[in-house]
Amino acid sequence: MHFVVCLKQVPDTSEVRIDPHTNTLMREGVPSIINPYDAHGLEEAIRLKDKVGGKVTIVSMGPPQAKEALKKAMSFGADRAILLSDRAFGGSDSLATAYIISTALKTIHETEPIDLVFAGKEAIDGDTAQTGPGIAQRLGFPQLTYAIRIRELTDTSVTVERKTESGRQIVQAQLPALITVEKELNDIRYATLPNMMKAAAYEPELWNVNSLSFDLTQMGLKGSPTSVSRIFAPPGRSGGEIIDGQNDPAGTAASVVQKLFQQNVIMVNPLMKGGKR
């Protein structure tokens, strides 16, 4: 089977800090990592390859330095890595990005038919969760988002458990299909030494705007319907009330609970939410 993994190099947003002196967002020195959700997609693709045989191809879009993320990804046991990199791609929003990546996948699909595409449920720097579904839609593949478990993979179908607010939905889709994954899907293993050595010597393929027949009007800033008009600091969390419960614990507990009801923080029947209200 042919598995394709969509993978993005992202700044580690948990390492981003506000400089307390200048009150600026410090992006310098923030390490670049493989988007964590994508890493779980890669892991699943490699596990499935180990089980049923086949090939894992990684596709990424980004600046030339994203090659490092692809080399790292290769060390987990993938077979081929392609980086879509061109100034013409820069400034693309999720609609344009999905156009570029799906165009690349169509080309791959022509020579090596794709059975299953994996992508992270979202990228931690954008949190849009739109590129995966956008790719599926353009390829005409069914999409299965927020997967937490692959129940079954046959020659013609895949069955997954999807995470929703009210529970788990078990869905079966015909192949080829696209799956976006949650962290619960699997635990990422360490790279093996032979794979690490292979990856160190591997050079990802670089595809640019001339490599494929792209429609230039659908990419970059001009092909992106959305644009950022401004940015600003998020409103800070205002300090709350400090309540001294050292002298009268029971009385304090009772008065706090009473206030929670009065302010509708806790409802009388917490299970009655939505619908009729």
Partner 1 sequence: MTVAVDKTKCIGCGACVMECSLEAIDLVDGLATPDPNKCKDLGSCVKVCPTNALSLAIPQDSKDELSSEVGSKFNLKEPLPESVSDYAQGNEKKTIRSQVTPIAGGDVWSGVWVIIEYNNGRVAPVSWELLGEGRKLADSLGSELCGVITGYQVDNVIPEAFAYGAEKLYVIDHEVLKDYRTEPYAEAITSLVRKYQPEIILMGATSMGRDVFPAVATKMQTGLTADCTVLGIDPETKLLQQTRPAFGGNIMATILCRARRPQMATVRPRVMEMPERAEGREGELIREEFGLSESDIHTKVLEFIAADARSTFLDKAEIIVSVGLGIAAKRNLVLAEELAEVLGATLAGTRGAVEAGWLSHDQQVGQSGVTVRPKVYIAIGISGAIQHLVGMETSDFIIAINNDPEAPILKVANYGIVGDLFQIVPAMTSEFKKRLQHGVAN
Q: Which of residues 179-208 bind partner 1 (CB under 8 A)?
A: 184
Q: Which is nearer to partner 1, 210 or 262 (CB)?
A: 262
Q: How many residues bind partner 1 (CB under 8 A)?
A: 100
Shortest approach of partner 1 to residue 167 CB, angstroms?
Answer: 4
Please report where in the chains the tokens 């869905």 appear, as a residue: 171
Specify whether the CB–CB gap between 101 and 61 falls below 8 A: yes
Is residue 53 left, alpha or beta, with left meaning phi > 0 and alpha meaning psi from -120 to 50?
A: left
List all residues 6 or more positions away from 182 whose beta carbon is below 8 Å from its beta carbon: 37, 40, 121, 146, 147, 148, 163
Specify whether the CB–CB gap between 39 and 6 falls below 8 A: no
Side-chain-facing half-sphere of 111: CA atoms under 13 Å: 5
Task: State which of residues 54, 80, 91, 206 lies at the interface with partner 1 (CB under 8 A).
Answer: 91
> Restricting to residues 45-64, which ones interact with partner 1 according to CB under 8 A?
63
> Restricting to residues 98-127, which ones interact with partner 1 according to CB under 8 A?
98, 124-127
Q: Which is nearer to partner 1, 130 or 195 (CB)?
A: 130
Q: How far apart are CA 121 and CA 110, in angstroms?
A: 26
Query: Residue 264 corresponds to which tokens in the numbers above?
Result: 């509708």
- Contact segment (CB under 8 A) with partner 1 among 67-75, 93-101, 103-111, 194-202 equals 93-101
> Restricting to residues 123-182, which ones interact with partner 1 according to CB under 8 A?
124-130, 132-134, 136-138, 142-146, 159, 162-174, 177
Q: How many other C-beta atoms can be found within 10 angstroms of the C-beta atom of residue 119?
A: 29
Q: How far apart are CA 160 and CA 243, in angstroms?
A: 48
Task: State which of residues 5, 93, 147, 150 lies at the interface with partner 1 (CB under 8 A).
Answer: 93
**What CA dihedral angle connects 24, 29, 34 and 37, to 10 degrees?**
-30
Shortest approach of partner 1 to residue 198 CB, angstroms?
Answer: 29
Question: Which has the closest alpha carbon to 78: 241, 225, 191, 210?
Answer: 191
Shortest approach of partner 1 to residue 78 CB, angstroms?
Answer: 25
Instruction: Give the contact letters, 217-256, x = binds to partner 1 (CB under 8 A), - = no.
Output: ----xx-xxxxxxxxxxxx-x-xxxxxxxx--xx-xxx-x
Shortest approach of partner 1 to residue 243 CB, angstroms?
Answer: 5
Shortest approach of partner 1 to residue 219 CB, angstroms?
Answer: 12
Q: Which is nearer to partner 1, 53 or 239 (CB)?
A: 239
Shortest approach of partner 1 to residue 212 CB, angstroms?
Answer: 19
Q: How many residues does the chain have?
A: 277
Shortest approach of partner 1 to residue 92 CB, angstroms?
Answer: 10
Q: Which is nearer to partner 1, 50 or 127 (CB)?
A: 127
> Restricting to residues 1-30, which ones interact with partner 1 according to CB under 8 A?
11, 13-14, 16, 18, 22-28
Q: How many other C-beta atoms can be found within 10 angstroms of the C-beta atom of residue 104?
A: 21
Q: For residue 268, which phi and psi values (nearest 5 degrees)? A: -60, -45
